[in-house]
Amino acid sequence: MLDTSLLRKELDQIADLLKTRGFFLDSSKFEYLDSCRKNIQQETEILQSKRNHLARQVGQLKAKGLDVGDLIIESQVIPVALKNLEDKLSSLNKDINDFLYSIPNIPHKSVPIGLNSSDNTEIRRWLPNGVSINNEPNPFSFIPKDHVVLGESLGLDLDLASRMTGSRFSFMKGKIALLHRALSQFMLDLHTKNHGYEECYTPCIVNSNTLFGSGQLPKFKEDMFSVRQGEFKQNDNVDNNDSNDDQYLISTSEITLVSTVSGSIIPVDSLPIKLTACTPCFRSEAGSGGRDVRGLIRQHQFDKVELVQIVHPDFSYDALEEVLGHAELVLRSLNIPYRVVLLCSGDMGFCSSKTYDLEVWLPSQSNWREISSVSNCEAFQARRMKARFRDKNGNTSYLHTINGSGLAIGRTLVAILENYQQSDGSVIVPSVLRSYMGGMEIMEPSC
């Protein structure tokens, strides 16, 4: 949520910044709501002052033995009027919050202006041994197969998953299931032992308050699976006043990790807080149309290692670069070609002020595909969660939150299958994963 005091001071400037994100800020509506709030507060202050004045008058007249009947009658009306104003303000504050909840974060000054992915900026690319032939970052002497063909001979069964559940789910067994597990273990070990993150195990189901605080609701309600009374429901129609009994499957463990500081005041000496978790993630992908229906690129259920840092505002952009570097090291350790892309203003996520994407090279598509997003949300999530820190002078301020994929397991598996494939359909196991796979060096096709 944006700072309302900043909106009052710099409404036109913020509206212009939000236009670069393709968002129209209804400035007149905000001014109207804010004016109504001020009027109610002024009326309340006048009545409170009158109540206090009458109380003093009654006391003075009683001390003199004078009649105070008329003053008491007049004062008895005030509590009723104050209660009415309190109810009006409560209703108005809900309208104001609903309005504020719909506004995305403003882009950082370093973010390029643009409306879609074509306006993103490539920052750098990394290639194993710097090899690139005819713009192919990982050239093959044969026509490379895609990950579905490779995976099916190693234990990937999309048809079985489809019969069990529906499209965009996967069933893995044997070698590919072992590779999937090895990736999560390797990433968690790397981030906890080398990068100082604390490993967490989190719920996969959360209530609506948690989703509002982390910025998922109301914006992404249609992209989430809701769970009610044992029933599994997709795209359930629930308004913005969901109670704690309304529960949803998490779309990322960013939700649960940032929520560890919800409603808290953290001592400044406890910062930064660095958390990681590997969890299943569930997304209905309501707006994705027919893209990537085949294979593991876009699934309703997938595992992801998430990185979260909760930091002092002065250090949040340093932390953003650090998290990006931690995600990059996973890909370098796996020796997979990748590039870093700075997203333009119109392509960023709702909560983000600045986002980098990591994209890996997929030989079968001759294209780069996203495998991680790393974002600085500044105080946007913290303000919604009421998450603050207390400095050494006793003052409180909102925390900054940084999140990133470190990495998505399924997409990393895809990148390994395609970049490590051999002409006979076998797949070389990256050296850093072999100890997690019982020393296996090559995954031979079983059929």
User: Are 129 and 272 members of one domain?
Assistant: yes
CATH of the domain at 338: 3.30.930.10
- Residue 362 has φ and ψ, to the nearest 5°, of -110, 110
Contact 209, 244 (CB under 8 A): yes
List the binding residues for ATP.
Answer: 283-285, 370-373
Per-residue pLDDT 10s for the chain (447 aa) are 999 999 999 999 999 999 999 999 999 999 999 999 999 999 999 999 999 999 899 898 888 888 888 888 888 999 999 999 999 999 999 999 999 999 999 999 999 999 999 999 999 999 987 665 556 787 888 999 999 999 999 999 999 999 999 999 999 999 999 999 999 999 999 999 999 999 999 999 999 999 999 999 888 888 899 997 655 555 444 444 444 568 999 999 999 999 999 999 999 999 999 999 999 999 987 545 555 667 899 999 999 999 999 999 999 999 999 999 999 999 999 999 999 999 999 999 999 999 999 999 999 999 999 999 999 999 999 999 999 999 999 999 999 999 999 999 999 999 999 999 999 999 999 999 999 999 999 999 986
Same domain, 322 and 389: yes
Same domain, 67 and 179: no
> Last residue of a domain, which of 102, 134, 157?
102
Is residue 108 in a domain? no
396 and 264 housed in the same domain: yes
Q: Are residues 221 and 312 in the same domain?
A: yes
135 and 210 together in one domain: yes
Confidence at residue 231, expressed as pLDDT on a 0 to 100 scale: 54
Same domain, 183 and 326: yes
CB 329 within 8 A of CB 433: no
CATH number at residue 37: 1.10.287.40
Which residue range is the domain that position 374 belongs to? 117-227+245-443
Residue 17 lies in a domain: no
In a domain, 316, yes or no: yes
The answer to whether position 434 is within a domain reads: yes
Domain count, the chain: 2
- Name which of 188, 82, 147, 204 is nearest 361 in CA terms: 147
Binding annotation for L-serine:
252, 283, 306, 403
Give the pLDDT score at 291. 58
Task: Evaluate whether 281 touches 252 at the Cβ level (below 8 Å).
Answer: yes
Is residue 336 one of the residues assigned to a domain? Answer: yes
In a shared domain, residues 353 and 409 = yes
Q: Are residues 87 and 212 in the same domain?
A: no
Same-domain status, 98 and 221:
no
Judgement on whether residues 139 and 74 belong to the same structural domain of the protein: no
Domain presence at residue 232? no
Res 11: pLDDT = 97
Cβ 261 vs Cβ 385: under 8 Å: yes
**Has residue 109 been placed in a domain?**
no
123, part of any domain: yes
Domain boundary among 77, 102, 127: 102
What pLDDT shows up at residue 242?
45
Cα 422 to Cα 443: distance, rounded to the nearest angstrom: 10
Q: Do 83 and 143 fall into the same domain?
A: no
- Residue numbering of the annotated binding site: 252, 283-285, 306, 370-373, 403
| Residue where a domain terminates, one of 102, 135, 160 | 102
